Copies of this chain bind each other. A is one copy, B any other.
Amino acid sequence: MKGVILGIHPTAQIIDITHDIQAQNVRLAALALRDSARYFAAGTIFVVVVDPGVGGERRPIAAQSGDYVFVAPDNGVLSYAIEDLAAATLVELTSTQHRLEPVSYTFHGRDIFAPAAAHLAAGVPIDQLGPRAADPVVLPQPTLTVAAGRLVGEVVQIDHFGNIVTSIGPLRWTKPDEAIYLRIGSEHGLGVPISATDAQITIDGQTINGIIRAYGAVARGTLLATIGSSGYLEVAINQGGAAARLDAAIGDMVELYTGVN
């Protein structure tokens, strides 16, 4: 794919975000993209490839949203990086002159996605890549319910350290005291006050008291709750694997009692 990109656009800067997404796990890829895309400069073209599951390939699309363009299969993988995917400028990648012909049936990354991204980076307008497309596949948002004094979410990811990432967030620490505040869905969303010291988290039959800033603040082997680098509530063990100890799985319910009346 990189050879193809540089052949079309020799000055492209190519960065690998990750190659560690589980095969066919579109939802994990969508979450990883949500958490990293916003750190890239305006004008970045994102190329997203996930192995197709049963049912085969989805149509290839490009989606323009703000200062970014995403090139991906229409399988929902852009659902979280683009806040309203159905309202974005979508194009189906059908232009044969912006593909590598003949297109193989098993490596669309090389033959369709990489050339499209390279042409976009080189300045080709998105509408030259194909006709406008509608009705993209959109994944359901991770569960998050806000009630008085209580937030209910779910496990969305087990990372490779065995840390449990939840749908509760994004959360931000406020200074200088220990209270944190919840924002939902955007920078301008609802703020819910949470007390880091008085909060209680329940997950898989266990209760954790308080939310801490860094793993090192508790003894090795202790179960803890913290705010991950993407701003979501995480349950972890200092130098251990929380998921195995709790027998946690994607979709398990997580409750956060805010500790604020």
Residues of chain A touching chain B, judged by Cβ–Cβ distance below 8 Å, are 2-4, 6-7, 10, 13-15, 17, 23-24, 36, 39-41, 44, 52-57, 100, 102, 104-107, 110, 161, 172-173, 213-217, 219-220, 226-229, 231, 238-239
Docked-complex contact A15 and B13, CB < 8 angstroms: no
Question: Which listed residue, B4, B7, B173, touches A102 by the CB 8 Å rule?
Answer: B173
Once the chains are docked, how many angstroms separate the CA of A46 from the CA of B42? 25
Question: Which listed residue, B4, B41, B216, touches A54 by the CB 8 Å rule?
Answer: B216
Once the chains are docked, how many angstroms separate the CA of A69 from the CA of B172? 32
Q: Quick one: closest B residue to A52, CB to CB? A: B216
Judged by DSSP, the binding face of A is loop
Beyond contacts A6-B41, A102-B172, A106-B214: 5 other A-B pairs, Cβ-Cβ < 8 A, are: A23-B161, A54-B219, A56-B216, A105-B173, A106-B215
Docked-complex contact A105 and B214, CB < 8 angstroms: yes
Question: Which listed residue, B15, B56, B216, touches A2 by the CB 8 Å rule?
Answer: B15
Contacts of A214 in B (CB 8 A): 52, 56-57, 105-106
State the number of copies, please. Answer: 3
Most buried by B among A105, A173, A216: A105
Once the chains are docked, how many angstroms separate the CA of A43 from the CA of B125? 28
Once the chains are docked, how many angstroms separate the CA of A53 from the CA of B216? 6
Question: Which listed residue, B17, B44, B53, B215, touches A239 by the CB 8 Å rule?
Answer: B53
A sample of 20 cross-chain residue pairs with beta-carbon separation below 8 angstroms, ordered by A number, consists of A3-B17, A3-B39, A3-B40, A6-B13, A6-B15, A6-B41, A7-B41, A10-B13, A14-B15, A23-B161, A39-B110, A53-B216, A54-B216, A54-B220, A56-B214, A56-B217, A57-B216, A104-B231, A105-B213, A106-B229
Once the chains are docked, how many angstroms separate the CA of A161 from the CA of B24? 13
Once the chains are docked, how many angstroms separate the CA of A100 from the CA of B40? 12
Contacts of A4 in B (CB 8 A): 39
Q: Quick one: closest B residue to A24, CB to CB? A: B239
Once the chains are docked, how many angstroms separate the CA of A215 from the CA of B213? 46
A173-B102, A226-B106, A228-B106 known; A44-B3 Cβ under 8 A: yes
Once the chains are docked, how many angstroms separate the CA of A228 from the CA of B226? 43
Q: Quick one: closest B residue to A114, CB to CB? A: B39
Contacts of A53 in B (CB 8 A): 216, 239
Docked-complex contact A226 and B10, CB < 8 angstroms: no
Once the chains are docked, how many angstroms separate the CA of A226 from the CA of B104? 11
Q: Quick one: closest B residue to A14, CB to CB? A: B15
Contacts of A10 in B (CB 8 A): 13, 41
A104-B227, A106-B227, A227-B104 known; A52-B239 Cβ under 8 A: no
